[in-house]
Structure 1
Amino acid sequence: MDKNNIKRPKILIVEDRRLTAEDLKETLEGFNYTVCGIAATSEMAIQLAEEKQPDLVLMDIVLKSKKDGIETAHYTRFHLDIPVIYLTAYANKEMLERAKSTDPSGYLIKPFKEQDLYFAIEITLHKHKMESGNKQRHSNNHSQLTEPKQDLTPQIQKISMQHSGNEKRHLFQAMNEIEQRLKNLLYVQAKGRYCQLALDLSQEPCFDLQISFQQLETYCKDSIFLKIHRSYLIIPERALYIKKKNTRDFELWLKGYSSNPISIPVGRSYLPELRNSHPEWFAY
């Protein structure tokens, strides 16, 4: 096969020092990568990332913009699903902790060896390729999402037997609101004294219920919803996979009918039960 016809990985450089960026560009092209752009600010980095869709971003942390490289990486990583390797002269603990929250693929301290950069890039590209394949398989398995059960008769009968007056009316109204929105419901989150429905609808992304999270859990957990966190109930049919967010925390990724996948936290105490009941969510 002609090497010229092989698709070369595209890399976006985010670096506010022009000479440093040009030197890095020359190094990457020597490794046979394509440099699809150089950005000196957060705004330019996001614009180029959206336009060029690089396979990887090499990110400096200190930029000539209000937002630094860590804030920029948060967008490119979680909204565009582009892996990030930090290249920085700064290595203090606070900055490292902030950087870890963006799920980086690497963190190289300047000056670094070209060989270390090459190895970091190759490992990142391979890992992301494998993860993307797993995500695609999960997405294909859920391309025809099963609609949640919409018959709330058992819940309504239970409420009818156990309550009366205003409390019964509020619970009936809440069940009705849930039933109307069930097709587009992603999850329920505790919000102060009450709870909120998160919906897969651009015109109505959320809806507040006038009942407590505990009340909703009492009547709907293990029938419509599954509890994965002390403050979250999910529609199991929406779940794609569970993965580590960082060294300590886990997150569940959900897919609706029209929105891009979104993530919500998973309580560590719920993980053993979830592994038993839904091992397929952990294949990722």
Structure 2
Amino acid sequence: MKERNLNFLIVEDEYITQKSIEKNLNALGHHVLGRAMDYEKAVSILTNEKIDFAIIDINIRGDKSGIDLGAYIANHIKIPFIYLTAYADKKTISSAINTEPYGYIVKPFQQHDIVTSIEIALLNFKKENINTNEDFIIIKHSDKNIKLNLDAILFIESDKNYLNIFTKKGIYKYRNTLQEFSKILPSNFIQTHKSFFINTDKITTISKTTLEIDEYKIPISTSYKNSLKEFL
């Protein structure tokens, strides 16, 4: 995606839920460009507006469901979308999965559920569609979206639901998992510990149990020692 705030479509037939999602998106700096409670209205918005991302409740007004809308998006419009629903039965999940959404949130939800699902969806969408020459990510830092080149990263440390991304200019906190984030890293990044991925081009010194990148000491666990040795 471009390094800008995104235009969202919310398809939800419960007004309070719709406004709650919009409030969360606005807090992230995004813009809700379209709101719909049924399939026809949603398709009209998708046809006439530049929507970057859709959040779709599976059970909406009218004869067609949110899953029908997801199928329409998958077949006609190349944007990421996630489902929102109060139902998590096998039949519903199976039907939803067939439309290849980028996420699935079960009600009731909290703000971090929305945030995490959007960020993972964008990461996976970018991985599938990004030009391989665009080796950067967009990170929200101090209420601004900044472009961070991957080759500027020294190493990444996992910290529960967040990642600490270390660069010479500073440390950036990013909500994601280490394994998901590693999918977009170039081949010169390698895992040295369950909590660390390092940029091998930035290694200063290396020993049996640790390596150094600038002033930072990073552990090398037994599980990853051989793969690191083979890489180097």
TM-score by length of 1: 0.44
Read off the aligned partner of 1:100 and give its amino acid letter: I
Q: Which has the higher helix share?
A: 1
Aligned partner of 1:92 in structure 2 is: 89
Q: Residues 18-59 of structure 1, C-alpha deviation per residue, up to 9 Å, x if partnerless?
A: 221112111110111111111000011111112223221100
Whether 1:67 and 2:64 are equivalent positions in the alignment is yes
Post-superposition offset of 1:136: 11
Q: Within 1, Cα distance between the matches of 2:72 and 2:132?
A: 19
Whether 1:43 and 2:22 are equivalent positions in the alignment is no
Q: Return the match for 1:109 from 106, 111, 133.
A: 106
RMSD of aligned residue pairs (Cα, Å): 2.0
Q: Within 1, Cα distance between the matches of 2:110 and 2:90?
A: 22
Q: Residues 164-215 of structure 1, C-alpha deviation per residue, up to 9 Å, x if partnerless?
A: xxxxxxxxxxxxxxxxxxxxxxxxxxxxxxxxxxxxxxxxxxxxxxxxxxxx
Q: Within 1, Cα distance between the matches of 2:133 and 2:99?
A: 22
Give the secondary structure class of the aligned counterpart of 2:104: strand
Post-superposition offset of 1:92: 0.9
Post-superposition offset of 1:116: 1.8
Read off the aligned partner of 2:16 and give its amino acid letter: L
Post-superposition offset of 1:134: 4.8
Number of aligned residue pairs: 132
Read off the aligned partner of 1:63 and give its amino acid letter: I
Aligned partner of 2:130 in structure 1 is: 133
Read off the aligned partner of 2:32 and give its amino acid letter: V
Residues 135 and 67 of structure 1: is their aligned pair in 2 closer, same or farther, counting only changes over 3 Å? farther
Q: Which has the higher strand share?
A: 2
After TM superposition, the structure 1 = structure 2 runs for residues 1-284 of structure 1, keeping only pairs within 5 Å, are 7-134=4-131
What's the % identity of the aligned pairs?
A: 35
Extract structure 1 runs of 4+ deviating beyond 3 A.
134-137
Gaps of 5+ in 2: 135-232
Q: Within 2, Cα distance between the matches of 1:29 and 1:45?
A: 20
Q: Within 2, Cα distance between the matches of 1:17 and 1:32?
A: 23
Residues 54 and 41 of structure 1: is their aligned pair in 2 closer, same or farther, counting only changes over 3 Å? same
Bigger-Rg structure (1/2): 1
Q: Within 2, Cα distance between the matches of 1:73 and 1:12?
A: 12
Read off the aligned partner of 2:124 and give its amino acid letter: K
